[in-house]
Amino acid sequence: MAPSGSRSIKRGCQRVLYWIPVLFIALIVAWSYYAYVLQLCIESIEDTGEKVVYLLVYHVVFIMFVWAYWQTIFTKPMNPLKEFHLSHSDKELLEREDRGESQQEILRRIAKDLPIYTRTNSGAIRFCDRCQLLKPDRCHHCSVCDKCILKMDHHCPWVNNCVGFANYKFFMLFLLYSLLYCLFITATDLQYFIKFWTAGGRAHFRLKEYLNGLPDTQAKFHILFLFFSASMFSVSLASLFIYHCWLVCKNRSTLEAVRSPVFRHGTDKNGFSLGFSKNFRQVFGDEVKYWPIPVFSSLGDGCSFPTCLVNLDPEQPSSPTGSNPANKSAAEGRQFPSKPLRESQSRLLTSTPSWSENETATDKDRKGASNPGMTIENEA
């Protein structure tokens, strides 16, 4: 009983510690609201029109920022569906087998009816011992959450949550609105920061002569520190946001950028890339009106993804399949069989007519020419 009790206490302490970064961000945001709204806008800015405009724009950005941050924190990561979990009989059968090859045969038999196309580096079926399930494509086990997370990007301590299929759009909007929040504060606070900084260096400290809009020392401190903190956060947020925009354009997660996914034909860092438009819509959805709003609109079910097998990324050399028979044979060897997941079909192609119309025509041409150089897995 004692070891079990100590483990419970340890887990409870860890849960509390994991919330410290979130609490830190919440305190910074609360202080910035006080410093900007009360100390800068209400106490320091004398022009009524300027004050109203600043407060109006600030609160719009602030609400969107807090909304996206809340959604990123409290949206539970999605876990693999029941089709990927081993049945009781399969678990017993797997436990009875001691040899790795025999276990792989069992896993291959189970995976035969599932839309699983990625493998381990050794070519084995991706299986999670802790969760007792076959990992869907782009799914990884998070050691902090102790769960398998669909399309896991990373575990972020600043939101105390895994960033994956369920909340990646929210995370992107959180980065966007937090960056806009910091840039807006930096831009509007700049003129008052300059007044304070210039007047502060005067030998006689004739502050009132230079600081018409800064009535007291407390406001001056808040305005000075607000500018420094907002500008520093802007730099770090801009770099992180640009990096994740690049990942969205390439249809990669942070884990896939570090280690490329392995398919049956080998490693392919662009295996899930379908072009900029489709990559973007996989995260943000088809309806433009939902793009800037922190509501879930991503396409698919998180368990299966359309796959582009020919690398069209300019970073890698092109390999047209129609140029010679050797390339054609290689492309045919790469083509994945279509294995739909009946109970949870992906909407990535079926719900987007703008995507499928062009590709239907192209598919017909491919069938007629017997040249499967570029294949998008049909999840319907």
**Residues belonging to the active site:** 156
CA 160 – CA 73 distance, rounded (Å): 6
**Which residue's structure tokens are 């709204």?**
37
Q: What does DSSP say about strands 262-263 and 266-267: parallel, antiparallel, or unpaired?
A: antiparallel
CA 135 – CA 107 distance, rounded (Å): 11
Backbone angles phi, psi at 319, to 5 degrees: -135, 75
Contacts 24+ apart (CB under 8 A), 338-342: 338/377, 338/378, 339/112, 339/113, 339/114, 339/115, 339/116, 340/115, 340/378, 340/379, 340/380, 341/81, 341/83, 341/114, 341/115, 341/301, 341/303, 341/304, 341/379
Of the candidates 68, 328, 339, the residue with the CA atom closest to the CA atom of residue 177? 68
